Structure 1
Amino acid sequence: MDWFKLSLQLNKFPINRAQKTLQEIQEIPVEDYNNYISGKRQEIVEFHLNNNRFYKNFFRKNSFSNWNEVPVMAKTDLQQKLENRLSKGFSKSTAYIGKTSGSSGTPFIFAKDKFAHALSWAGFQDRYQWHDIDLNKSLQARFYGIPLDFYGNIQERIKDRISLRRRFPIFDLSEQKMEKFLKRFKNSNFSYINGYTSAVLLFAKFLDHKNLNLKEVCPHLKLCIVTSERLFKEDKKLMELVFGVPVVNEYGASEVGLIAFENKENEWVVNAEDLFVEILDKNNKPVPTGSEGRIVITSLYNKAHPIIRYDVGDTGVLSEKSTLKKPILEKLIGRTNDIAILPDGKVVPGLTFYYVTKSIIEDTGSIKEFVINQNAQDSFKIEYVSQSDFSETQKQKILQSIKTYVGKNLKVAFERKDKLARSKSGKLKQFTSTL
C-alpha cells in the first residue's frame, strides 16, 4: 500500500498530476530553462494581479516590464486576515491552510492551492529517493514537537500513522527519555531519522556516551535528515559516526515547501522546479553568485495566495557553480534578525558568537546543549546544560575567544540549567537578542 500517496489523495491533493508535472519540468533542457522560469514568473504575477485584490493593492501597478519592478514581500506584509489575501475562487475549505512556525518572530497564516501543495510533496519525495528513501514504504523516526492539546495531539498522531512516521517528542530530552528512544529503535525497523538538528544531535551525544552505534541497534536505518537549525561540520561527523548512516541537510519553510536538499555529492541543491529563489542585497538587487544576501522566494504555482519575491527571513550564498536549472546553496548563514549589535555600532552575526563559543565549550566533553542571549549591547548570557559548572579556566577561555573574534569590553554571564527553553514547536533557538 502506498500510504503517503493515499494520505494525500484522501485529502484531495492531486499527487499523480503533481508527480507528472514535476517530471516534465525536470526534463526541460538546460538551454530552455530560462524560458521556463521567466514564463512561470510572468504567469503567476499576472494571475495574482488579475485575481487577488490584496496583491494588486500591494503591487500598486497593473503590469511590469522588468522582474526587478516586482515588489519584495516581507512577512509583516502578510500579517492580516487570510480572507483578505485569498485569490478569487479560493476559500479556506478549498485550499490547504497552514501557519508558519514563527521562529522569525513574525508568524502568519497562509494558503496554498491543492495542486501547489501536492507539487511540494512530489518534490520532497523526489529528493528523498536520491537517498533510497520511499515515503510510501520507509518508516520515519520523527524528532519533532507535537501539539499538546487533546484534539491537536490526536490529529497529529493520526497523520503520523498514515504517513509512516513515529513521533519522538522532543520537549523532554532527559537521559531517561533517551533510553526510551533507544528502546524504540531496537524494536522498530526505522529507515530514516528526520528532525530538528539540536534534538537529533542530543540523541547522538547520548549514543556516543554509551559507545553505541545506532545502525547496529537498528539495521534497517539508511539516513538521517536534519532541518530547521544550523548543522555544524563537527556535529555532522559525530552524528554519522554514532548513527552509522549519512546525515543530510534539508532546508524548507512551511509557506513555500522544500527550498533545498543535500544530494549524495554533498551539494545543497536548491528547488528550482516550483520555486524561483533569489539572493538579494539590502536594496533588493540581485547579488553576484558567491556573495551573501537575503533569500527571497517566488512560489511559481501557488494561485490561492501570492508568495512572490517573498523575503523568507534567512541569509545565504549561492555557489558559483550554480546554474538556473541547478542552483546550489553554498551557505545558509541564518536568520536576518539573528545579529548582535555592539556598543561601537559593530554588527556581528549571532552565529559567529555562537560558533566561537561552541568551539571552546565542546572541549569540556560534558556540555549537552547551550544557547546565547544578548540582553544589552555590551551584555550576553550563556545558558547551558552540563554535568557540572564551568570552571574559572573554562570561562576565561570563552571570554578570551569572544574578545578576539566578537568584540572587546563585553560582559558575559554563565548560567547552568537542568534544561533549556524551547519554542512551542520544539525548536531550540540558539542565539537571541532581546534588544
Structure 2
Amino acid sequence: MNFLDVARGAYVRSPPAVRRLLAPVLALAPTRVKFGATYRSWRSRIAMAAEDPVYAGQFHLAALRALLQKAHAGSPFYRESIDQALGPGFDLSRLGLADLRRLPVLSKDILRTAGTAALAVPIAQLDEAAGNGSSTDKPFRFYLDKDRSAREMAFVYHVWSRIGYDENTARVCFRGFSLDATGKRLHEWDPALSELRLSVFPMTVDDADAYLDLIDARGITYFYGYPSAIELFCRHMRVLDRVPKRPVKGMMMISETVHPHQREIIRSVLGSVPLSCFYGLSEKVLFAEETPGAPGSYAFNPLYGLAELVDAAGEPVTETGKEGRLVGTGFLSTGMPFIRYDTGDSARLVELPNEANGQRLRVEAVMPRRNVDYLVTADGGRVVTTHLVPDGPGFFDGIEELQFYQDQPGEALIRYIPTAGAAPACAARLVETLVNRTNGRIRFCLKAVDRIAAGRGGKRALINQQLDMSRY
C-alpha cells in the first residue's frame, strides 16, 4: 500500500475545515506530485487498453484470476463459496472467463450477513463506507482499499480527457447543498484541486448571477457536478440573459442520469457543449463511459471490472435489446472482494463483451438503483435526494428502513422502521441532520411504522412524491 496514495484519498474525503487548512500548501505541489506515479501508470494502462483490445483482454483475465486467488486466500466466506462452485483444489491461475459464471450472484443481504468474513485483508487496511441506493433497503456497509483514489481518478480523468479536460485545468463544481453548517457560505476556491465550489441549494437567480461573476473572474471553462444542478443553473442563465464570458468547453456530469431534456436545456443556453458522462458505483465494482455520439449508451472498462447482464433467473442476457440486471466483479478495490455482485441496476444489451472489443460489455438505458427524485421546498426549490441522505454509515444508526412522503411543498414526512432496541434519539438525530443539510427550508416530521409500502416489482421508493413535479 502506497502511503502517498492513501494521503491523496484522505485529503479528498477529509472534512471541509481540514481541506481549507491544507489546500494552500498542497496547491504549491507540482501536478505530477499531487497525482503521483500510481495515477500516471494507470493512465498509461487505460490508454493502451483503449487502443489495443488484445492487451485489454489479457489484463482483464489476469485481473480476474488475481482477484479470485486473493479472495480464496484471505476470505473465509469467499474460500467456501469458490470451493463449492469450482471444487476444492481448482487451479485459479488457470481460471477462464466462463468459469466465473459457476459462482453464485451475491446480493447485499448475502454480503451483509457474511460481514468481515468477506474481507481478504486486515480491516485496518480498509475504509468503511456505506450505500443506501434509491430504496429504503437496510443500509449496506462495506469496505474499500485506503489507497484506491489514485487508481480511480485515473479512470475518471481518462474519460474527462476526451472533452479536453486535464489535471491542470480549473473547473466549477455544482454539487452539495452548502459549504458550511450555517448555509451562509455560497462559494469557495480549492487551490489544491483548482476547483470553484458553489452551493447549489437553493441557488436562486441572484445566486446564479453572482456565480457567473466568480466563473468569469477565474476564466473557468469546464463545469462539473450534478446534471440537475447544472440544468437549474442554465435555466437561471436563460432568465438572466447571460452566459460566461469565456465559452464553456465541456461538462463532466456525475451521480445522476443525464436526461434528454437536460441535454436540450444546456444546448439551448450554451450551445453544443460536449458532455462527459460515466457510470460508477460506491462499491467501486464497475465503471463505464458514455459512448461518444451515442447518448445513453455505455461501455464498461475491462480494466476496472467484469460486467455481466443477467436475467431474472441469473442467466446471461445474450439477445440485443433485452433488459437485464447488471452484475459486477470489481478489480479496483480488492480488500473486500465484490465477485458477481448484484448492483441492483438494470440496462439493455447493446453488445456482449468479446475479444474484438476488448471484453467491453456495452449497454443502454441504464436504470440506476438510485433514481433521481426530489423534495420541494416551500419556495418551490428542488432538493436532490442523491445529496439529501449522507453517504456516511452513521446516518442510519438506529434506523432499519425509511421513506420520505411529501404532498406539500416545504414539508416532508419521514416514515421509518426503527432498529430493535434503538433509542428515540436516533430518529431525532436523523431529523436534525436533514434540517441542517437543507438549511431549514424543509420541515421534517417523523412517523414510526411497522413496514413501508412497496411499489411495482417490490421496489420501495426513497421518496413517495405526491406533488406534481412538472410545476417545480
User: TM-score, normalization: structure 1?
Assistant: 0.66
The whole-number CA distance in structure 1 between the counterparts of 2:333 and 2:38 is 14
Report how far residue 46 of structure 1 moved. Answer: 2.5
Q: How does 1:183-194 map to 2 (within 5 A)?
A: 183-194=213-224
Matched, 1:333 2:367: yes
Report how far residue 96 of structure 1 moved. Answer: 5.3
The whole-number CA distance in structure 1 between the counterparts of 2:123 and 2:31 is 25
Deviations 1:92-144 (A, max 9, x none): 3x44554436545454444333665432211111111111100x211121111
> Partner of 2:24 in structure 1?
none
Matched, 1:304 2:328: no
> Partner of 2:283 in structure 1?
255
Matched, 1:119 2:151: yes
Q: How does 1:30-179 map to 2 (within 5 A)?
A: 30=54, 34=57, 36-57=59-80, 61=84, 63=86, 66-79=99-112, 84-88=117-121, 90-92=122-124, 94-95=125-126, 98-100=129-131, 102-105=133-136, 106-113=138-145, 116-134=148-166, 136-145=167-176, 160-179=190-209
Q: Choose from 38, 43, 46 the match for 1:14.
A: 38
Deviations 1:16-43 (A, max 9, x none): 332343345445434x755543443233
**CA separation of 1:381 and 1:107: change in aligned 2, threshold 3 A:** closer
Whether contact under 8 Å (1:5, 1:15) holds in the other structure is no
Whether contact under 8 Å (1:18, 1:119) holds in the other structure is yes
> Which stretch shifts more, 15-24 or 161-170?
15-24
> Partner of 2:308 in structure 1?
278
The whole-number CA distance in structure 2 between the counterparts of 1:181 and 1:77 is 46
Report how far residue 75 of structure 1 moved. Answer: 2.5
**CA separation of 1:143 and 1:420: change in aligned 2, threshold 3 A:** farther
The whole-number CA distance in structure 2 between the counterparts of 1:285 and 1:421 is 46
Secondary structure class of the residue paired with 1:304:
coil
Whether contact under 8 Å (1:259, 1:270) holds in the other structure is yes
> Partner of 2:256 in structure 1?
229
Report how far residue 56 of structure 1 moved. Answer: 3.0
The whole-number CA distance in structure 1 between the counterparts of 2:201 and 2:117 is 35
**CA separation of 1:384 and 1:317: change in aligned 2, threshold 3 A:** farther
Whether contact under 8 Å (1:144, 1:170) holds in the other structure is yes
The whole-number CA distance in structure 1 between the counterparts of 2:348 and 2:67 is 26
**CA separation of 1:382 and 1:146: change in aligned 2, threshold 3 A:** closer
Identity between Structure 1 and Structure 2 (%): 22
Whether contact under 8 Å (1:371, 1:383) holds in the other structure is no
**CA separation of 1:246 and 1:184: change in aligned 2, threshold 3 A:** same
1:252 partner letter: G
> Partner of 1:412 in structure 2?
none
Q: Choose from 235, 243, 258 the match for 2:270.
A: 243
Secondary structure class of the residue paired with 1:293:
strand
Secondary structure class of the residue paired with 1:319:
strand
The whole-number CA distance in structure 2 between the counterparts of 1:21 and 1:184 is 37
Whether contact under 8 Å (2:170, 2:221) holds in the other structure is yes
Over the residues paired in the alignment, what is the CA RMSD in angstroms? 4.1
Whether contact under 8 Å (2:285, 2:331) holds in the other structure is no
Where structure 1 has 5 or more consecutive residues not aligned to the other structure, the ranges are 339-349, 355-366, 373-379, 386-417, 423-428
How many corresponding residue pairs? 349
User: TM-score, normalization: structure 2?
Assistant: 0.62
Q: Choose from 312, 337, 344 the match for 1:313.
A: 344
The whole-number CA distance in structure 2 between the counterparts of 1:112 and 1:307 is 10
**CA separation of 1:71 and 1:330: change in aligned 2, threshold 3 A:** same
